[in-house]
Every structure is written in C-alpha cells, then in structure tokens.
Structure 1
Amino acid sequence: MRAIVTDGSNTVWEETRDRPKPAAGEALVRIRAVGICGSDIGLIHGEGPPWTRYPLVPGHEVCAEVVELGSGVDSLEVGERVSLHGFIYCGGCTPCRTGRYYQCDELKEIGFTIDGGYCEYASFPAETLRPLEDDISDVEATQIDSAGCTLHALSRVETTFTDTAAVLGPGSLGLFGVQLLRAQGVEDIVLTGTRDERLRVGERYGATETIHVHDTDPVEALLEYTDGEGVDLCVETAGAGDVVNTCLKATKKRGSVVLTGVFDGSRAIDPNDIVAKELEVVGGVTAAHAVDDVAALFRRGDLSVDGIVTHEFDLAEYESALDTVTNRDDGVIKAVLRP
C-alpha cells in the first residue's frame, strides 16, 4: 500500500508498505478521506507536540471503512464507515480516572505518536473508531475531530443569549466556532482574520461583524464595537501571532477567554490583563467525548463543511496538496486527501 511519511525535517516522501494486519482489539480500515490539518504542516516542519515520534505517517482527521476485525472486537462491523478520534490512553492514571483521558500520563495519539491516515490502509484500536450514520458524508466525517476541538473548548465556559463573542482566526476551527456559538444561541459574533474570502465564509455562517486585522487594529476595533467595554467571550483559534494578547485586552471585565490554537512557541503576555479584569482563561484540546455531539450537530444542520473544506486531492497528489495548504493558495481553507 501507499503511505506518506515525514521525519520532521521539512521532508515528506512516499513509501510502499505491506498492508497491516489488525492485532487483538484493532480494526483494519481502508482510508476513504483524511483532512490536512494545520498541525500536520507543523509536524512536517518539526513543530509537533512534545510527544511526537518520527518518522511518522501524519493524519488524524480520518474517515474510513472497516475491512477486517482483530480478535475481541465486537463494537464494529466489516463494511461500516467510521470516523477517528485519535487519543489512546491508559485508563489508570489520575487524569484518566478523573475523566481527563486526553491528558493521560501515557498518552498516545494517532497521527502524532502512532502512524495516522495519510495512507491507504491502517490498523487502529477499535475504541478510537466511531461508526458513522448514513447521512454524514465522508468529508463531514473528517471534520468531526476538528469541530470537536472547538466544541470541547467552548463547553468549558458559559455563554448566554446576550453575549458578544469574538472569534480570532477564520480557519476551520474558527468557522466551526462561529457555527457552534450560533447553535448555543449567541447571535452577536465578531470574526477577525487576514483573508477576506475566509471572513466572507464566516459571514455566511452568522458572524455579524468581521475585522481584517491587516487593515484595523483588532483590539481597538473590538473595543469600539462594544462601546469600550470589551467582548464577553473571546475564542482564539489561530495559534499564531499576537492573538493571545488580543484576547486578553479585548475581553471585558470578568469575561472569558478560550484558547484552542496550537502555537509554534511561547508568547509574552501581560498577566495584569488577567488579574485586573479577573478574566477566566481556559484551554481546550480535541476530545473523544465531543464526537457524538458534533455528529448530531452535523446531522441536524447546525454544522456544515460547506465553504470550509474547499479542496480535495488524490493521495498521489500529496505534494501539491501540502503546498496548496501551506501557501494558502487558490482560496484553500481545508483540504482532504482521497486515497
């Protein structure tokens, strides 16, 4: 089978590998579609999380079809379509026993420590695979993990119908964030970013105001929009630039800041912004417990990938696909590979 591999030195190559056999507790799947996440680009450049293990087949935004079951697997059926949530955890450490399995002391993650979905076939632990309903498309299935990241983070703070929220970054996480806030009843949503075409997609999904941060200082614009008070909730999804400081300075007293972006390094902040305004600041990572809710939102039309997943490539075109995403060519927001 074909597999795409990186060693974290800005190098990607194709290998021919034996088709894997499922071990006990695993399912062999045929990859139907796999999203190219911004963190995949980071992996290629050696910017993965500390637990990354190279060389590696990237890819955690997976839709697949079950081909063969290992012994002891009775939760799946051959021929079933599945989505992936990539955390593998011990179940016995303190984080696991308190429900925070995604912070497991022995955490493994498909696409980061274990080979992921940039290939034709893979064997994954059965517990990481969720059977898909017929009315969820392959492309929607690839984004269940991505949308789940934003949903999990937003679930850590309270929102009300009268809130004004700001979403920083009109990539997939941010555009799902706009949709999720609308689904929660928040109707006053400001979206900030650097690309007009992405901001327009956000307007389609319910952003009531957009700010192009190359044209306008986002802090000044958000304060002006709220008559100097600041927003009730600021959701950071960009993982780049000075967005953390933007959140801290543009959020009102006793407001909430949600951080979901994965940064390439540390950032300097003024902690007095948090102390003086008594801000609630939370982080969020993708979480398996969010996937059922995300699937339900896709099924009832409160989440969509229209205008978010903009490009599809054959797996053999991986170089062109990765270049397109890295350089943000041709209006790409999210691309998927089709093995």
Structure 2
Amino acid sequence: MSDREHTEAVPDGGVQRAVVTDGTGTAWAEDREIPDPGPGEALVRVTAIGICGSDVGLVEGEGPPWTDFPVVLGHEVAGEVVELGEGVDDLEVGQRVALHGFVYCGTCGACRDGRYYQCDDLKEIGFTVDGGYRKYAAWPAYTLTPLPDDVSDVEATQIDSAGCTLHAMNRVETSFTDTAAVLGPGALGLYGVQLLRAQGVTDVVLTGTRDEPLEAGRKLGATRTVNICEEDPVEAIRAHTDGRGVDICVEAAGAGDVLETCVQSAAKQGKIVLTGVFGERKAIDPDQIVAKELTVVGGVTASHAVDEVIELFRRGDLTVDGVVTHEFPLEEFEEAFKTIRERRDGIVKAVLRP
C-alpha cells in the first residue's frame, strides 16, 4: 500500500524544528530555516526517518572521522520532493524518494573506481551535512532514489540498513548448500537472515542476547536461535553443524566477543562478513584464519545496493515486520532515544515521523 500524500505547500520564509547534537551527550530541538534548494539540489519533505544506532552513538561523540559537529541527525530518510533546484531534471515534484546520503567529488580515484563512499573529500548526510531529523531538507539530487508506490515510507527508511548488510554480503559468494550464522539480531542482523534466505541459504543460525529479536529472527527464517547469555555460541553453532562450523558467518553486532565467535565458528575455508562498527580494537586468533584458510571481508554503507533492496522489498523477500517495532513523532525523539538505550518494550528499530 502506498504512503503517497498530496504535496503540501512549503511555507514561505518559514522555520522548522530540527534535532541537533554536538556529540557531548545531548541532542536538542532548535529552530532552523526551511532551506531553498540550490543548483543540483531538491527540497524534500521528510515523511519518516529511521533511528540508526549510529545516531545514538553520534550524540555520545561516536562517529566516522569525517563527522562535523554540530549536526542535524538522521540519514535513514523517506520523503517527497517538493521543489527542484536549477539543473535537476531526473526528479519530479511530488515524487517519493529514499535518501542514500553520500556527497562525493566524483573525480578522485575512489570515485572514478565506483567507490564513491570512500571519496577523498567525502561528506555524509547526518554526519557532516545536516540530516533528516526535521520536516524539510535540501540535498543533492543524486542522493535521492525514486520509490515505487508499493514500497512504503517505513520500508524506505530501512533501505540503508538492509543495503549495508547486502553490500557486505555481496563481497562473498553464497550457495544454497551453505550453512550460515548471523551474529546480532538488530536490524542489520535481521535483514541478514532474510537476505541469506533470499539467496537460497536455508540453514541460518541467529545469535544474540535478547529473546524478543531472536524470536523475530526465527519468524523471519532463522533455523536455530541462540541466546548467548544462556548458551555458548561457538558450541551451539558447532553442535548445529555436527562439528563442522558454518560456511558463512555474518557479523552484525559490533560488540562483545563476536569477532572471535566468527573465527571459531567458521568452517574450513569459510567466509566471514563484518558489518558492525566496534569503535575499539578487538583481539582474535589469527592462527584460526590461517589454518582454516578463512576469507574475511568488511562492508560499509549500502553502496550499489539501493535499487536491489528496493526490488527485494517489492517482491516480498524483505520485510520490516519484526524489525521496525516502534514509531514516535519527531518531537518525542528524547523518549525514542531513551527507549532504544534502555532496550525497553522489545524494541529493535524505531522510526520517527515529522
């Protein structure tokens, strides 16, 4: 069902409330002018914003090295184009769009190689460029992907999360005969379960610390779930695979001993896909990587995966059911953050509505 609404007039000379952080442990709402779109930009009316774990981290001063405080939070954005800047001819007013928020030069070696997310002059919406925790925002038109009517606003906010996992997984090959483990039942992990199933991998173990998201993972296709507070994950995974280990291990937690769990749980010549951000050094046993001839890859961003994720949502191979568990009005962002930090009410992922 479409979330399309009638395009509303943008208030002339208006102001809006935007949620800002300086990375010192607080976020607040302040008045900001509604921007005019510059050349190559589109003005977007934000209709929904996913709260990424990195948003909560930014409030505490955690973020990529290019973060520029103070900044308006929010990069998991669905919206509607309400005005076009000069030279924009690939978008239309009234078109629903999803944000993929990398602003890049297009001329450095990484950009020429298609790795725009590793641009030498990288800027990122919600980190160095003001993001979507507001009602109106003007961004480069190339950061906006048109949405079909049968992809909802809430689904559109999840394109980035699902795309991050897919981009990383696309760096290794999978087979329908593989066994897999997904470590971490947050949004990245729950999309990982679904993406593995979509690729034909039917035997998937999901590990985590909370029963509610683990149960969501079971409903989304996990064959076996392991609460690591009650079972040793390595022993459980190896027992599930008759001692062999898994062919693919998707790390989606970014915390604890999950890296060592990956190395110990992987089968000989297994593949380890890292998607989490740890923010600190972690120790692993390199002898396991050498002896078992493991392939270890990392993945960052939803690069080159946005269109594929949109199609997966359209086909029903991806769902937000059990992943997006809460919605809040934008003005209740503090309550939303508190619910996430305290892991209240079985929350997995929350969406804000301006």
With structure 2 as the length reference, what TM-score do the two structures score?
0.94
Q: Which amino acid aligns with 1:93?
A: C
Matched, 1:303 2:308: no
Q: CA deviation at 1:268?
A: 1.4
How far apart in 2 are the matches of 1:171 and 1:267?
Answer: 20
Q: Give the equivalent residue in structure 2 for 1:162.
A: 177
Q: Give the equivalent residue in structure 2 for 1:145.
A: 160
Q: Give the equivalent residue in structure 1 for 2:267.
A: 252
Q: Which amino acid aligns with 2:343?
A: R
Structure 2 counterpart SS, 1:32: strand
Q: Give the equivalent residue in structure 1 for 2:32.
A: 17
Q: Which amino acid aligns with 2:219?
A: R
Counterpart pick for 2:192 among 171, 177, 202: 177
Counterpart pick for 1:107 among 102, 122, 125: 122
- 1:39-85 Cα offsets, whole Å, 9 max, x none, are 11111111111111100111110001111111000111111110000
Q: Is the 8 A contact 1:233 1:255 kept in 2?
A: yes
Say how many residue pairs are matched. 339
Counterpart pick for 1:202 among 217, 225, 231: 217
Structure 2 counterpart SS, 1:254: strand
Q: Is the 8 A contact 1:102 1:287 kept in 2?
A: no
Q: How does 1:221-260 map to 2 (within 5 A)?
A: 221-260=236-275
Extract unaligned runs of 5+ from structure 1.
none
Q: Which amino acid aligns with 2:22?
A: D
Structure 1 consecutive aligned stretches of length 4 or more whose deviation exceeds 6 Å: none
How far apart in 1 are the matches of 2:276 and 2:97?
Answer: 26
Q: CA deviation at 1:87?
A: 1.0
Extract unaligned runs of 5+ from structure 2.
1-15
Q: Give the equivalent residue in structure 2 for 1:7.
A: 22
Q: Is the 8 A contact 2:79 2:96 kept in 1?
A: yes
Q: Is the 8 A contact 1:150 1:176 kept in 2?
A: yes
Q: CA deviation at 1:288?
A: 3.6
Q: Is the 8 A contact 1:33 1:337 kept in 2?
A: yes
Q: Is the 8 A contact 1:87 1:288 kept in 2?
A: no
- 1:203-231 Cα offsets, whole Å, 9 max, x none, are 11110000000001111111111122111
Q: CA deviation at 1:125?
A: 0.4
Q: Give the equivalent residue in structure 1 for 2:151.
A: 136
Q: Which amino acid aligns with 1:296?
A: E
Q: CA deviation at 1:127?
A: 0.1
- 1:231-260 Cα offsets, whole Å, 9 max, x none, are 100000011111111101110111000000
How far apart in 2 are the matches of 1:225 and 1:204?
Answer: 19
Q: CA deviation at 1:279?
A: 0.5
- 1:114-167 Cα offsets, whole Å, 9 max, x none, are 111111111110000001100000000000111000111111001111111000
> Which moved further from structure 2: 248-257 or 269-278?
269-278
Counterpart pick for 2:131 among 113, 116, 138: 116
Counterpart pick for 1:93 among 108, 119, 126: 108
Q: Is the 8 A contact 2:75 2:126 kept in 1?
A: yes
Structure 2 counterpart SS, 1:91: coil
With structure 1 as the length reference, what TM-score do the two structures score?
0.99
Q: Is the 8 A contact 1:82 1:129 kept in 2?
A: yes
